[in-house]
């Protein structure tokens, strides 16, 4: 296949995109952009052949540019993605897809209108737990999955206090939209993306109120949510930037199926079955293995093969609808129900 010419906008997390694209024989990074001139200079010295700019609009008119990765603060995901899609470029967009489902839907519509690939960087699917469990799920190892309990909680893990991460107008929210979004996608993907029917959520900022006094911060520091799906399955999600806990981070999943369950705890994975009713369950310790395909290679392959990428715009929109509904439920103290229409919710929630 002919190598694709790639641009990367936002050069912190974006550097992983640069590295993974350049590690592929099917892509070259030909442009890099960051509004921070110092950072841009530093990256540009490592990649002297790439065009370097502080304003991404300079990249819109590059005829030889095929695709971009957008790794900017969350409030810029929708406008920048839409600008590149209008300029005829495929987009790999960082998570969360957008600030809310309304923005996410407009990104999806723009990609469809222009016949372009829009993929979300839900990279946990490609990491060891996702890559190890999904083939087992697809082979029917767990039977029907009826409940997932998943967490991504940090102790004192505020990303750069005082930065855009803690300002709702720029981030869309706290750990729910930042960390929970990964676990939500992973859980739904393993469950086969069942249609959500209702969401109940509660958000807190108890520790932030004490620890971040005087810092510009208006997000939750802890979020808990319960989601019901049309097929009767359910999912519990907890995410935090701060919580009293032993470890710096607790990344866990308990996935219950009719034939077996999977337990993930900070990269350890076991599959457990007690189907025979024995006193001792049948326990298998798995060696988690990362996907051989990076998210960037998956994006390239999807463009070349004209296939819908795994972490699709459609999945991104569903995740944003659930996130919106959790924020709305937490705000009102009431459950939010979705209508029969695929993805459309009764309240048309727009939390930011």
Ligand X SMILES: NC(=O)c1ccc[n+]([C@@H]2O[C@H](COP(=O)([O-])OP(=O)(O)OC[C@H]3O[C@@H](n4cnc5c(N)ncnc54)[C@H](O)[C@@H]3O)[C@@H](O)[C@H]2O)c1
| C-alpha torsion angle, residues 237, 240, 245, 248 (rounded to 10) | 110
C-beta of 28: minimal distance to ligand X in Å?
20
Q: Is 39 in the site for ligand X (CB under 6 A)?
A: yes
Q: What is the 3-state secondary structure (H, E, C) of 142-185?
A: CCCEEEEEEEEEECCCCCCCCCHHHCHHHHCCCHHHHHHHHHHH
Contact 70, 80 (CB under 8 A): yes
Q: Which stretch binds ligand X (CB under 6 A): 4-12, 125-133, 229-237, 261-269?
A: 4-12
Contacts of 186 (CB under 8 A, 6+ apart): 122, 124, 125, 129, 130, 150, 253
Which residues are 149's β-sheet partners?
Answer: 236, 254
Report how many residues bind ligand X under the rule CB under 6 A. 21
Minimum distance of ligand X from residue 1's CB (angstroms):
25
Q: Is the peptide bond before 96 cis (omega within 30 degrees of 0)?
A: yes
Within 8 A by CB and 6+ apart from 49, the residues are 30
Q: Judged by CB under 6 A, does residue 129 bind ligand X?
A: no
Selected binder of ligand X within 27, 30, 33, 129 (CB under 6 A): 33
Minimum CB distance to ligand X smaller for 90 or for 121: 121
CB of 335 to ligand X, least distance (A): 28
Q: Which residue among 20, 44, 50, 56 contacts ligand X (CB under 6 A)?
A: 56
Task: Please tell me whether residue 36 binds ligand X under the rule CB under 6 A.
Answer: yes
CB of 306 vs ligand X, minimal distance in Å: 25
Identify residues 63-122 at the interface with ligand X (CB under 6 A).
71-74, 76, 94-95, 121
Of 7, 10, 201, 310, the one binding ligand X by CB under 6 A: 10
Distance of CA 222 to the CA centre of its chain: 18
Angle at Cα 70 formed by Cα 175 and Cα 60, nearest 5°? Answer: 150
User: In this chain, which stretch among 7-15, 187-195, 241-249, 304-312 interacts with ligand X, using CB under 6 A?
Assistant: 7-15
The b-or-e profile of 151-187 (16+ CB within 10 A means b, else e) is: bbbbbebbeeeeebbbbbeebbbbbbbbbbbbbbbbb
- Distance between CA 212 and CA 218 in Å, rounded? 10
Q: Quick one: 121 or 321, whose CB is closer to ligand X?
A: 121
- 206-265: contacts with ligand X (CB under 6 A): none
d(CA 183, CA 122): 9
Least Cβ distance, residue 236 to ligand X (angstroms)? 22
180 binds ligand X (CB under 6 A): no
Supply the minimum distance, in Å, between the C-beta of residue 133 and ligand X: 18
Q: Considering beta carbons, is residue 178 or 328 the nearer one to ligand X?
A: 178
Residues at the contact surface with ligand X, assessed by CB under 6 A: 9-13, 33-36, 39, 56, 71-74, 76, 94-95, 121, 123, 178
């Amino acid at each position: 296949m002919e190598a694709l010419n790639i641009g990367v906008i936002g050069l912190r997390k974006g550097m992983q995109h640069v590295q993974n694209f350049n590690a592929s024989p099917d892509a070259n990074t030909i442009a890099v952009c960051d509004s921070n001139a110092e950072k841009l200079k530093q990256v540009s010295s490592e990649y002297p052949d790439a065009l370097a700019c502080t304003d991404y609009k300079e990249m819109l008119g590059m005829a030889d540019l095929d695709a971009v990765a957008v790794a900017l603060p969350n409030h810029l995901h929708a406008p920048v993605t839409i600008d590149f899609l209008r300029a005829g470029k495929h987009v790999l967009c960082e998570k969360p897809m957008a600030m809310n489902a309304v923005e996410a839907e407009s990104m999806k519509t723009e990609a469809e209108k222009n016949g372009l690939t829009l993929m979300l960087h839900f990279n946990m699917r490609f990491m060891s737990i996702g890559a190890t469990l999904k083939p087992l799920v697809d082979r029917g190892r767990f039977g029907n999955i009826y409940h997932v309990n998943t967490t991504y909680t940090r102790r004192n893990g505020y990303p750069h206090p005082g930065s855009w991460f803690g300002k709702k107008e720029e981030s869309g929210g706290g750990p729910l939209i930042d960390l929970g979004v990964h676990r939500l996608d992973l859980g739904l993907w393993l469950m086969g993306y069942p249609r959500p029917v209702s969401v109940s959520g509660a958000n807190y900022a108890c520790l932030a109120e004490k620890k971040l006094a005087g810092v510009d911060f208006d997000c939750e520091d802890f979020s808990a949510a319960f989601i019901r799906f049309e097929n009767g399955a359910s999912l519990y999600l907890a995410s935090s930037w701060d919580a009293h806990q032993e470890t710096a981070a607790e990344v866990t999943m308990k996935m219950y199926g009719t034939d077996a369950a999977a337990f993930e705890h900070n990269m350890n994975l076991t599959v457990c079955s007690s189907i025979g009713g024995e006193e001792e369950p049948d326990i298998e310790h798995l060696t988690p293995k990362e996907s051989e395909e990076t998210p960037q290679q998956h994006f390239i392959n999807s463009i070349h093969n004209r296939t819908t990428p795994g972490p699709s715009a459609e999945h991104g929109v569903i995740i944003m609808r659930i996130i919106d509904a959790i924020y709305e439920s937490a705000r009102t103290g009431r459950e939010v129900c979705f209508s029969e229409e695929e993805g459309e919710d009764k309240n048309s929630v727009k939390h930011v």
